Structure 1
């Protein structure tokens, strides 16, 4: 036998009636004032419609955020906000005279039993489901004032600005409002006193909340002159806790600069200088990898520390090439050209001698013999080698000065500092 919908409904009604009639005397419906008030308020109450007797009237909803916890993922560019949201409005159908109900001036009601405003986050993270409905216990006053304070978690999108990483600050903004209703139907606004409360706030990992700025956007558009779509704008100003990233990236970047400059001051007689310069170049690649693991791969802003490491790597590569060239010059025994001898004489006898920062050891072994002046051939080779070494000293000092100037400019331009 097939039962239609009307038959099923009738059976359910009869079943409930039997249950009500079968209750023992001590389990009858509550007859005290609070129970009677609750039943009278919800009698013929419709929670799907705005609680106004005139449909042209608007419902003003006051909003207050009591922040509890904030987490920000700069890699995924998501901003998570945990807070208690206080919402207050007037419900014209939830009013009573306290004298009629034992002088009860306020009562608690569940949010699913009454009308509650739907406050949506417009720039929400679409990958996470976020309900705009309230699920909490609300306080209802005799004049119809309803106050709900649910614990809500919001997840929004926040574009990351990494130019001054790791000493960067981020401004994350959230926009709240009614998803479908206009401002003439539901008017969201702030509490006059303390629209944002930070008394019990705790900073999330890696970030410090500097301040919160709230603003109400009227939502007036030229397309809809007779309607408005107001929004509540909250801007959260965060500062990164940079002690960890600075210890891993910033300080070592300065150390490898010192290694590169130190290598330019060493003698080229052995391979110590070349090994130190190559180690500095390898360190640059390590820091580039470390920075790449800590920042978004497709960020629109390039961290200036990344530009510093890039340019410093070029300077270190020049230092390596200079070392190889000077090692080749130092071993030359061919007679130098006349201009080279003239330049060496001018530098040695003029003010240029004060800019020579390096003095390479002139001793060398040629064909298994130490350069001496015992024979005319060895003496000529010694003089030729001395001229080439003087040229190497001059060229190396020039490279050192240029590298020092370049690093001073890079440090002043690209190394971020904590404000």
Structure 2
């Protein structure tokens, strides 16, 4: 019995080994053609864990070209993402062959994970997102060992924005690429000589227009490492905000509330219409400050000048409210005005200064005059003359406030209102 079992064990082992090994039946085996044989011969002893050079002192020259497709910019988070086809070309000394030995095949496609590929890292990447420096695509290999890979990559970087001229701001964002661990003597990144950046199929992202892309190679020489270099590829993206929407929401209404405040200075203070309009203008300032706060980063490096305009315009509007209340008080006075007020008023109205006084308040107020006659024995003419002096002084004061306000607003508009260059 033991002898029979001993004879069956090798047979069962052979059957199990054949099943596990996955031996293909003879009628299903395919004869390798020249391309398959070339692929098998190139990768049979290939090692992708180290640089493909026969002399370790040899540097691999990697040429890079960006074909930009799309850029998304988040100004609130101060991050921007570049979507592009990145062409990388280098020479692999272990992937060369003689075309005549393989049916005159001069090019072959190999998956990137089967061969050595350069790891190009983004140094100012957004740390909140995982961004691998490995590429996964199909690469084209020539018979002289030149490898070309064109993966579709998305790089997210940090960009400190300047909002001084918001919403007509232009942002300058930079990306730095290079090898994370290899020195320039091991892997040297350079640009394609022709068209290092291609914009033929580029589409602008929402709210931003790409003005220019500049590229520069940094040698990467540092005092800490005099015998080694760490070259980097620098790409600078110049982007302009599409300001039609923000301008319609903020800039144009800011001009409107300025006109509303100035128009209120031309109205009479007899009724409450002027006070209502100027208070509405002050309320509009708060609304626009809130709207701007929703559209700009809370921790920006600088302050948008449109905010300074709204702030100063709010101060002018507040002064207008106080001046309106003062004029309403002056208009109701019936006691004789001080001598200096009468002198200044008559001096201005009788000289060239009369052309400056262009506001005329209505002096008639019969109800007030009737009340005044019942309180003391003064004549109606004396009361009317005193009221007229106060009204003329109010006209002069209001005209001066209006001129000063116009001058202040002109300075604020030219200094703080941004415009599209």
TM-score by length of 2: 0.93
Residue 25 of structure 1 deviates from its aligned partner by 2.5
**Residue 218 of structure 2 is aligned to residue 225 of structure 1:** no
Mapped partners of 1:16, 1:343: distance in 2: 118
Residue 282 of structure 1 deviates from its aligned partner by 0.4
**Displaced runs of 4 or more, over 2 A:** 13-22, 24-27, 365-372
Of 262-271 and 30-39, the range deviating more from structure 2: 30-39
Q: Which position in structure 2 is the counterpart of 1:194?
A: 195
The structure-2 alpha-carbon separation of the partners of 1:366 and 1:339, relative to structure 1 and needing over 3 Å to count, comes to farther
Q: Any unmatched runs of 5+ in structure 2?
A: 1-13
User: Which of the residues 404, 412, 415 maps onto 2:414?
Assistant: 412
Mapped partners of 1:64, 1:21: distance in 2: 44
Q: Which position in structure 2 is the counterpart of 1:400?
A: 402
SS of 1:92 mapped into structure 2: strand
Residue 15 of structure 1 deviates from its aligned partner by 6.8
Q: Which position in structure 2 is the counterpart of 1:6?
A: none
The answer as to whether partners of 1:83 and 1:151 remain within 8 angstroms in 2 is yes
Q: Which position in structure 2 is the counterpart of 1:8?
A: none
Q: Which position in structure 2 is the counterpart of 1:3?
A: none
Q: Which position in structure 2 is the counterpart of 1:97?
A: 98
Residue 26 of structure 1 deviates from its aligned partner by 3.7
The answer as to whether partners of 1:61 and 1:187 remain within 8 angstroms in 2 is yes
Q: How many equivalent pairs are there? A: 405
Q: Which position in structure 2 is the counterpart of 1:33?
A: 34
Mapped partners of 1:236, 1:360: distance in 2: 59
Residue 32 of structure 1 deviates from its aligned partner by 1.0
Q: Which position in structure 1 is the counterpart of 2:8?
A: none
The structure-2 alpha-carbon separation of the partners of 1:350 and 1:367, relative to structure 1 and needing over 3 Å to count, comes to closer
Q: CA RMSD in A?
A: 1.7
User: Which of the residues 386, 389, 407 maps onto 1:387?
Assistant: 389
Q: Which position in structure 1 is the counterpart of 2:311?
A: 310
Mapped partners of 1:16, 1:197: distance in 2: 55
SS of 1:226 mapped into structure 2: coil
The answer as to whether partners of 1:364 and 1:370 remain within 8 angstroms in 2 is no
The structure-2 alpha-carbon separation of the partners of 1:29 and 1:51, relative to structure 1 and needing over 3 Å to count, comes to farther
SS of 2:412 mapped into structure 1: helix
Residue 24 of structure 1 deviates from its aligned partner by 2.2
TM-score by length of 1: 0.94
The structure-2 alpha-carbon separation of the partners of 1:32 and 1:20, relative to structure 1 and needing over 3 Å to count, comes to farther
Q: Which position in structure 2 is the counterpart of 1:115?
A: 116
Mapped partners of 2:340, 2:268: distance in 1: 25
